[in-house]
Amino acid sequence: MKRVIKMYTEHKNSIQFYIRSVLHNFQPSSKDMDALSHFFESEKSAEFIYSVDQDFTQQTPTIGRREVYKERNGTDKSFYFKWISFKEESIHISNPYLHHITGQPMLTAVKQIGDDYLVIDFDILTLLSELRLIEHNTLFNKVNTVIMAGGALLLGIVSVFLILYGGYIFIAMLFSHFKGDDVMHEIFTSIISITIGLAIYDLAKTILENDVLFKTLNFESDLQNKTLIKFLTSIIVALSIESLMAVFKIVLDDYNKLINAFYLVIAVTFFIIGTAIFNKLSFHKN
């Protein structure tokens, strides 16, 4: 929602100019439901349309793109018109809001027609798409979206498998008779599997959100950096657990191999330092 509103704010003048142009050319009878419903044929972003009389009472059902809500006919709309003035022009456009029926970010345009008022709710995402302010669905983009969606779904399946596998190991350990280092090994294996599974799931979710669902809505310059840092943090956690497990196993087995665990801990430390430096440089850059 925040990203949609931010993009709408940046292109507010263009969007409102477009809506005003469309409504200026739309001159139906405010009580003719067939004429009102024809608006959906020419304007894909329109979701709901209805008419209000001079007493601010809804005089037609709410005509939706997919359904007509007859029970709203006759409802009092005076509250919505309380702060609206038509002295300067005959069209008023509201601020963005979440629609109570669709749950999507919408804005409402009200046009005065004689003594009546025509009210139209527009879907902001569709508006942005129509005005080419977000990525247009060319053939290449469609193919790219399918590939990215397929890859993200496969990653999601792998992540769920790793999480379930980690849970399976832990549950199996509870009902088995592991002793000593076997218990530690199973616990650490379970933790590592779940941690990596969560990291891969977060990566899959990010791909779906940013490369499949309205890609150009995610226009923050530091978005990729944040995603990479989150993924690296999960990997660091998994490597740290692996290092700790290696130390315990070597201590219980052969002290002469402790230097190998030391090298592994040093490598993880450099990994942490490198991630911290990357995070710091990215923050200053943005």
pLDDT digits (tens, 9 = 90+) for 12-58: 888 999 999 999 888 887 677 888 888 898 888 999 999 999 899 99
Q: Which domain holds residue 92?
A: 1-131
Compute the mean pLDDT over every residue in the chain, rounded to the nearest whole number.
81
What digits encode the pLDDT tens for the residues 217-260? 554 545 566 667 777 777 787 777 777 777 777 766 666 777 77
Indicate whether 62 and 78 sit together in one domain.
yes
Residues in the chain: 286
Binned at pLDDT 50, 70 and 90, residue 93 comes out as very high
Tell me which of 75, 109, 131 is where a domain ends: 131
The Cα–Cα gap between 189 and 238 comes to 10
Supply the pLDDT for residue 107: 92
pTM beyond cutoff 0.75: no
Question: How many domains does the chain divide into?
Answer: 2
Q: 52, 58 in Cβ contact below 8 A?
A: yes
Tell me which of 107, 131, 155 is where a domain ends: 131
Tell me which of 91, 109, 131 is where a domain ends: 131
- Concatenate the DSSP letters of all residues of 82-146 into one string: TT---SS-SEEEPPPEE-TTT-SEEEEEEEEETTEEEEEEEEHHHHHHHTTSS----HHHHHHHH
Question: Across the chain, which distance is largest between two alpha carbons, in Å?
Answer: 93
